[in-house]
Structures are given as structure tokens and as C-alpha cells.
């Protein structure tokens, strides 16, 4: 097991934590899904737009630019009319599919547990609020 006790040292500066950097990368709504969509191979802008339900042109452009800027996605413009732009993962981008896949796998395995926990928690909250209301009413 690689993960032993792994005690958090008392002086860890979280500002330099690499987790933060990755989160800044894929933390937004669309990045992970763009990468996921590009796992299938090279895609045109309009194809991505159609695949990723709900994304606006602006956000898609922004996300792709960001990924390109970080060297995870390659952007190829064909100077033809009408314009044709193709996006694909770089080798570096491909390596990101693994941890993202791990995340997705976790989600598929544990999402139902989480939803159940949510329901239980909501119910507890609900009952608690009812008690509060009851006690307030009683005071009057």
C-alpha cells in the first residue's frame, strides 16, 4: 500500500500544494468533459459543442484556449472557407485521462451512497427544524 499513515506535516503550505494547481486546471465545469470528449479522438469545434450538452460557445472557446495554453490540447486551424478547426489531446493531455477516469470511476461506485447520505442528512435537518419551530411556538 502506497498510502500509509501519511501524516500531514504541521507546516504544509497549502498554497504550494500541487492539488491546488490541478484543481485550478480541471476544477471548472467544462474542462474535464472536454478532455473526456477528446479521448475519442480529434474533434471539430462544432462537434465538441454538440457533444457537450449545455456549453456555450464562449465557455467552450475559453476552456479550449486554456487547455491549449497548458499544452494539453492541440489546436489546428485549416485556412479554408468555411473555417475548419480541429482539436486533439497532446501526449501530455492523454496522461490526464487516467486520474480523471479514476475520479469518474469513484463517482459511479459511490454516488448512490452519497445521495443516500444526503437524503438522511436532509431528513435529520428537517426534523431538527421542526423541533426548533415547535419550541419557538411553545414559547409564545
Partner DNA sequence: CCGCATCCGGAGCGATACTG
Partner DNA sequence: CAGTATCGCTCCGGATGCGG
- The contact mask relative to DNA for 66-105 (x = CB under 7 A, - = no) is ---------x-x----xxxx--------------------
Joined grid coordinates for residue 5: 499513515
Q: 28 exposed, middle or buried (CB, 10 Å; 0-12, 13-18, 19+)? A: middle
Which of 91, 137 has the CB closer to its own copies? 91
Grid coordinates 501526449 are at which residue? Answer: 91
Question: Which of these segments, 9-17, 55-63, 106-114, 129-137, binds DNA (CB under 7 A)?
Answer: 55-63
φ/ψ (deg, to 5) at 109? -80, -35
Q: Which residue of 42, 99, 131, 133 would you call a contact of its own copies, by CB under 8 A?
A: 99
CA 90 to chain centre: 19
CB nearer to DNA: pick between 84 and 110: 84
d(CA 112, CA 48): 29
Strand partners, 75: 87
State the DSSP H helix or E strand holding residue 132, giving kind and residue range, or none if neither.
Answer: helix 91-139
Residues that bind DNA (CB under 7 A): 28-29, 44-46, 49, 54-59, 61-62, 64-65, 75, 77, 82-85
Residues that bind its own copies (CB under 8 A): 3, 6-15, 17-23, 25-29, 32-33, 36-37, 39-41, 50-54, 68-72, 92, 95-111, 113-114, 116-118, 120-122
Amino acid at each position: 500500500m502506497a498510502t500509509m499513515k501519511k501524516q500531514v506535516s504541521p507546516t504544509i503550505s497549502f498554497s504550494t500544494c500541487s492539488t491546488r494547481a490541478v484543481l485550478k486546471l480541471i476544477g471548472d465545469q467544462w474542462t474535464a468533459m472536454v478532455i473526456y470528449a477528446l479521448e475519442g479522438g480529434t474533434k471539430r469545434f462544432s462537434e465538441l459543442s454538440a457533444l457537450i450538452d449545455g456549453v456555450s460557445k464562449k465557455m467552450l472557446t475559453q476552456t479550449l484556449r486554456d487547455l491549449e495554453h497548458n499544452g494539453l490540447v492541440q489546436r489546428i486551424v485549416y485556412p479554408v472557407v468555411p473555417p475548419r478547426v480541429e482539436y486533439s489531446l497532446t501526449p501530455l493531455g492523454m496522461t490526464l485521462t487516467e486520474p480523471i477516469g479514476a475520479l469518474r470511476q469513484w463517482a459511479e461506485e459511490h454516488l448512490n451512497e452519497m445521495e443516500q447520505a444526503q437524503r438522511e442528512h436532509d431528513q435529520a435537518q428537517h426534523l431538527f427544524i421542526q423541533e426548533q419551530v415547535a419550541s419557538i411556538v411553545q414559547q409564545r
